[in-house]
Amino acid sequence: MMRSVEQVRAAHCDSKTAYPNRFQAKFEADKASDRTGELIRAYRCVFCPEHFHIGHPPTYERLEELAWAARRHAQGEELPS
Ligand SMILES: [Zn+2]
């Protein structure tokens, strides 16, 4: 069962730090990569284009779900109540 747009957005954004620009996000991503030895990237938030997050590259399924939710979020779709 697919989650609602708001559930997907909240799961994606609320636990992550929002960086105001790519430079700062990239700096933090590189530090985290060095610390963990894992690939961690900086990327523009799919829901709020004015900020950036850092994280592991998503799986294909996760990417599909994010794209679906971001498209509806951008269209201002009403959330199921
Ligand atoms: Zn976000």
For the entire predicted model, the pTM comes to 0.79
* Residue 54 belongs to some domain of the structure: yes
Strand partners, 41: 55
**DSSP state, 81?**
-
Distance from chain centroid for Cα 20? 14
Q: How far, in Å, from the CA of 35 to the mean position of ligand 1? A: 23
Strand partners, 19: 52
* Residue 41 belongs to some domain of the structure: yes
pLDDT of residue 80: 58
pLDDT of residue 81: 53
* Residue 64 belongs to some domain of the structure: yes
Q: How far, in Å, from the CA of 12 to the mean position of ligand 1? A: 6
* Residue 14 belongs to some domain of the structure: yes
Q: pLDDT truncated to tens, each residue of the chain (81 aa)?
A: 568 888 989 988 998 999 999 999 999 999 999 999 999 999 999 888 889 999 998 888 988 998 999 998 888 876 555
Q: How far, in Å, from the CA of 63 to the mean position of ligand 1? A: 14
* Residue 80 belongs to some domain of the structure: no
Structural domain harbouring 24: 5-74
The domain tally of the chain equals: 1
Q: How far, in Å, from the CA of 19 to the mean position of ligand 1? A: 9
CA–CA separation, 5 and 67 (whole Å): 10
* Residue 81 belongs to some domain of the structure: no
Please calculate the CA angle 33-3-29 and round it to the nearest 5 degrees. 10
Alpha-carbon torsion 58, 60, 65, 67, what sign? positive
pLDDT of residue 74: 87
Q: How far, in Å, from the CA of 2 to the mean position of ligand 1? A: 19
CA–CA separation, 59 and 31 (whole Å): 22
* Residue 61 belongs to some domain of the structure: yes
* Residue 79 belongs to some domain of the structure: no
pLDDT of residue 36: 97
